[in-house]
Structure 1
């Protein structure tokens, strides 16, 4: 049977459930651009900072050269760090994941302008469940059939340890959390022998490679990067479940940047094609993007929240209806 797209699946489930130098002044006027001599660029370290810096430094230098403003990388280990830093004005430009960008758009005055193009030319990636190839559960999961690892995990959760990335991750939490657990009315906090949040995709991958955890979330982009920085670890990892395609990563700046500076930033991202510089980041380039590109992720989060409210026996019907009505209103706003 043909697999539905991520958008089709989200639509189906939503319907079923409803029915430092920074700014001298944060001004959007072009006259303020002369006051900005440095921008901080937020980077979530999916791998360790030691591995990230060599990949990012050539790109940062090219950005500085073409924009004409000093760019200081701001490495953090969790998405929440970039969200909060942009909200405080400590970061003006950032590489986000889909879910974290949505939070930043709500809380941090973030405005998306570009989307990454993968090294294979696609503008999407997939979420995965991964295991160690030498762990017996790899063969047991594969025996169920192609892409049936989620079923194996559900049926054997009580004897498994499991690792998410972090709650603000699209591929490391939201997508697998909804499609594997919420849809099946399973609370992962209660289902597994042990549940942890590792904090990064590299950490979940290494935990699996080193047999410290049985099953973990990850994604196609991070596993591709791992192959470049730690091929021995990548060889030990088996993918047992793959999601539908997720929109690739957004690049966003603060809305209150001067318009002429925004234009320079956009010109750089839209025209930069240096393969030697982009290859370590596993990107081919960038395309223009707008906020609605990530509405599929917003709808997915609403569907997940609605399912959890519906199955929450501790809530009265009145309380459920109030919460569901608020989510329905959010969904209506997205679909306008």
Structure 2
């Protein structure tokens, strides 16, 4: 009996933790919005996924973008909602993080540059010398791509702005511009539209100055060492969400998605190149 027990233990140890049955799927998201908003958006999706995969799904809030990368690498998180840049960081950190799906909207995403309505700025070049707010340092749509397009326009944020601040979240950036704390800021178009739709930003005080060209952005990513069957179940669950079904549409609406579509690491090669061009990552 002792020999059998020892063999059983040895067999278990041959498999990495992720290959064993999970008690729960631990899910997180980059904190690009307030914790309460992230939890509100995820709750119905979490309940849906529980039914589809047959195990509890637990949302694990984090304090910053880097915590999602380290959590995935350490096996403390199983699935994360990433922006394109943070996905690139996670992929480089782990070597095998798997992007499952993205919203259809993420295949053609944009950032918005906003200014107070009374601003005299008519183009990006008019922002020189003023104060500017990005979101998180690790944000794709709140920092990397706005920085990249500023550089393409001939504006170096580190030398051409009087002051650069990092708000930590897109909705905070919008509020800073609205309150006149900064002369301009950049945030992702999806959150900008939500703030406008929900009247959480006063459009008589803030206006869009410029919209970037399109780029790939957000995705749901899993650890590369998860059970492949679970990975495929999760991908299938996202792809099965049907906007023609009221219950599914309610979930999609909270995700600000028309539907989810497959994605792959190659979709984010341009993000990686932009990060290199902007000096935010090095080979």
On whether the aligned pair clears a TM of 0.5, the verdict is: yes
Q: Distance in 2 between matches of 1:181 and 1:208?
A: 21
Correspondence for 2:168: 199
Q: Secondary structure at the match of 2:137?
A: coil
Identify unmatched segments of 5+ residues in structure 2: 1-11, 243-247
| Structure 2 CA distance for partners of 1:55 and 1:28, relative to 1, 3 Å | same
Correspondence for 2:84: 98
| Structure 2 CA distance for partners of 1:102 and 1:26, relative to 1, 3 Å | farther
Query: 1:224-303, aligned counterparts within 5 Å?
Result: 224-233=193-202, 236-273=205-242, 274-303=248-277
Q: Secondary structure at the match of 2:226?
A: coil
Q: Secondary structure at the match of 1:283?
A: coil
Correspondence for 1:131: 115
Q: Distance in 1 between matches of 2:152 and 2:250?
A: 42
Q: Distance in 2 between matches of 1:222 and 1:203?
A: 11
Correspondence for 1:71: 57
Runs of 4 or more, structure 1, over 6 Å off, are none
Q: Distance in 2 between matches of 1:33 and 1:295?
A: 32
Correspondence for 1:89: 75
2:94 matches 1:114: no
| Structure 2 CA distance for partners of 1:97 and 1:161, relative to 1, 3 Å | same
Q: Distance in 2 between matches of 1:256 and 1:165?
A: 31
TM-score, normalised to structure 1's length? 0.72
The alignment covers a number of residue pairs equal to: 266
Q: Secondary structure at the match of 1:171?
A: helix
Deviations 1:263-309 (A, max 9, x none): 2111111112211121122112211111101111122223333xx9x
Q: Is the 8 A contact 1:28 1:259 kept in 2?
A: no
TM-score, normalised to structure 2's length? 0.85
Q: Distance in 2 between matches of 1:249 and 1:104?
A: 13
Correspondence for 1:173: 143
Correspondence for 2:3: none
Deviations 1:93-137 (A, max 9, x none): 01111111000001034111211123xxx732101211122x3x2
Q: Secondary structure at the match of 1:76?
A: coil
Between structures 1 and 2, the one with greater helix share? 1
Q: Distance in 2 between matches of 1:77 and 1:227?
A: 26
